[in-house]
Amino acid sequence: MASLITCPHCGVRPKEEFSIRGDAGPLRPQPEAKFAAWDAYVHLRGNVRGVMDEHWQHVGGCRRWLVVRRDTLSHDVHDVTDAAEFARAAKPLKRSKPASRAGKPAKGRAQS
């Protein structure tokens, strides 16, 4: 039996319609990040023996990028998510700092 992947957009499809990119875990550093952060992002990847998240593209169908949670030992597919949804869930929300009045500390804060 052929390995199957359930695309969230196209349904159940044979894995031959997909192209794998690799580990979906590392988050891209900010453009102004130091060389070491970019070096690690580009060159260092874990060689997981077990379940991991991987980027796959549905090249034979909708052409969307997906994140496939797959067992690298048994090749069982556990979950498939659209990559855009995966990225939104992985990014921490930026919280704005409370605005203080010009020259005066915010209420309840001691001035140092």
The predicted-structure confidence for 13-44, as pLDDT tens digits, reads as follows 999 999 999 888 888 899 999 999 999 988 88
3-14 confidence digits (pLDDT tens): 899 999 999 999
CA–centroid distance for 92 within its chain: 12
In one-letter notation, the amino acid at residue 36 is: A
Please count the other Cβ atoms lying within 10 Å of the Cβ belonging to residue 66.
24
Q: What share of the chain is helix, strand, coil (3-state, %, to 5)?
A: 20, 30, 55
Amino acid type, 19 = S
Q: Whole-angstrom Cα distance, residue 26 to residue 85? A: 16
CATH class of 4-90: alpha beta
Give pLDDT tens digits for 67-107. 999 999 999 999 999 999 998 887 654 444 444 444 555 45
Q: What amino acid occupies position 56?
A: W
What is the model's pLDDT at position 1?
A: 45
The pTM of the full predicted model, rounded to 2 decimals, is 0.71
41-62 per-position pLDDT tens digit: 888 887 889 999 999 999 999 9
